Chains A and B, each alone.
Chain A
């Protein structure tokens, strides 16, 4: 019994290590293509990158905005309740803005994008793999990584931070709506104390997270898509796994980045 359990755990661990190795290899290969590709007549594909940026960023705007707005409102209500008890309601704008910018906007936006863009990428590449389209690209002499993977990573690295900045703005507005509409605080005062207390470091932390999350989502979904074998069912599995793994890795990376900023500052 114990043997089976340990065997099972060992198997899982080995599987995860293999997965991590695959991710690392894909990351290295992509970086290499990005940096030295242009010198070997393998340019970065600007057009498809822009097309994918629209898909990754613009198409997720409404959902990201909605979630940020609601989160801002929830944060305002939650902190108002706690802060009133200790008589420090004046700190509310600061608390809302800091949690949104440093933590919630990057995290929630990344999770939305993992669900929308990451799953779409895994499904697209998975379908291409099982229908031999990847093979067709290869025998045509086109490199899968520079043709498919690099644009998908680049697009997300650019659009996720933009989305996060947008979510910051909407989230703070959500807090403002609650402050003015429900708690009867002044709008000017609210914005004033928001801007007074926010530092570059808060913004930097949010953007570093957005960058790291973008790399995670793009790499995981491309890797899951490209290693798909079989048929439609496996494409579905690749899609699900890419979302689950992305989210787990995003949260782990979130802790890591937060800890670094904490230790440093």
Chain B
């Protein structure tokens, strides 16, 4: 596939719920191997945008091209093939409640690879190991914490080694250590596998450490889109308000944990923050 062609291209996306224009002619393009982080206030339409990009919620207007394929008008088979190259980790995890974690990750493998069960088991182990859940393989989603569920969802999204990965709020509800671990994993995926990533997040620290480009959603469009340095330099009052207000709160908590770690000297003893919504 040509390096120059954008992996994801959205043109003029419009989505309205009743009177409310959630997406208002939004344009977007993500290149291969690039990590785009989408920021925005709660309710600004980030999840709605993501749903359009993965072909779930058909926009009222506009088009979405993923690897050059129009996701809302292509035929069933090429859509299926395309979806095997995309991984999605949902905001709430969306693990299959009746299956163990191992079975959750095995599902795409057994559906699409034709590998023998023993091989699939090993792959499953590796994928769960990547997110630090190899010991929880045979637990049901209801038996693990919210943060663990989030990581398991990531492992499932990675099952087929996707070329494009979509993440809705990967680190919300994770303790700082695990969240930092996830950031590291994302950076590795980017570096080693050249995965194209679209990440929605509220965590500014995480956003700035993983992003190649940052986009801030406001009133159905991107108010600003650019490299972390560009965004940091922006003088737009709304951008400033978003960037300056949150980090203060965040810095306090990360300082708190930093001290906590140094005093205890043992990262393992930090209780897992489990406040998934």
Q: Which chain A residues have a beta carbon within 8 Å of chain B's beta carbons?
A: 40, 124, 127-128, 131-133, 135-136, 138-142
Contacts and interface: CB of A to CB of B under 8 A. Distances in A.
Nearest to A140: B108
Given A131-B92, A132-B90, A138 B56 contact: yes
Contact of B90 (A40, A128, A135): A135
B21 interface: no
A140 B89 CA distance: 11
Interface string B166-189: 000000000000000000000000
A95 B112 CA distance: 56
Contacts of A142: 107, 111
Given A135-B90, A136-B88, A141 B96 contact: no
Interface in B70-108: 76-77, 79-84, 86, 88, 90-92, 94-98, 107-108
A136 B54 contact: no
Given A138-B56, A141-B83, A132 B94 contact: yes
Contacts of A40: 76-77
A137 to B, nearest CB: 8
A43 B80 CA distance: 15
B79 A141 contact: yes
A87 B77 CA distance: 70
A40 B84 CA distance: 16
Interface residues of B, number: 27
Interface of A: prevailing SS: helix
Interface in B101-128: 107-108, 111-112
A136 B79 CA distance: 15
Contacts of B51: 135
13 contacts: A124-B98, A128-B96, A132-B90, A133-B94, A133-B97, A135-B90, A136-B96, A138-B55, A139-B86, A139-B88, A140-B83, A141-B80, A141-B108
A128 B141 CA distance: 13
A159 B82 CA distance: 37
Contacts of B97: 127-128, 131, 133
Contacts of A128: 96-97
A141 B56 contact: no
Nearest 10 pairs between A and B by C-beta?
A141-B83, A132-B94, A136-B94, A141-B80, A139-B88, A132-B90, A139-B54, A140-B108, A133-B94, A141-B84
Given A40-B77, A131-B97, A141-B112, A136 B83 contact: no
B272 to A, nearest CB: 21
A229 B95 CA distance: 18
B90 A136 contact: yes
A169 B164 CA distance: 58
Nearest to B76: A40
Contacts of A135: 51, 56, 90, 94
Most chain A Cβ neighbours within 10 Å, of B77, B79, B80:
B80
Contacts of A127: 97
A131 B76 CA distance: 25
Interface string B29-72: 00000000000000000000001001110000000000000000
Nearest to B91: A132
Most chain B Cβ neighbours within 10 Å, of A128, A136, A139:
A136
Nearest to A139: B88
B83 A139 contact: yes
A124 B96 CA distance: 11
Nearest to A130: B92
B132 to A, nearest CB: 21
Nearest to B54: A139
Nearest to B107: A140
Nearest to B80: A141
Most chain B Cβ neighbours within 10 Å, of A135, A138, A139, A142:
A139
Most chain A Cβ neighbours within 10 Å, of B81, B94, B95, B111:
B94
B86 to A, nearest CB: 7
B95 A139 contact: no
A132 B76 CA distance: 21
Most chain B Cβ neighbours within 10 Å, of A40, A128, A135, A140:
A140
Interface string B128-171: 00000000000000000000000000001000000000000000
Given A139-B83, A139-B88, A131 B111 contact: no
A132 B92 contact: yes
B245 to A, nearest CB: 30
B149 to A, nearest CB: 11
A133 B149 CA distance: 13
A140 B92 CA distance: 16
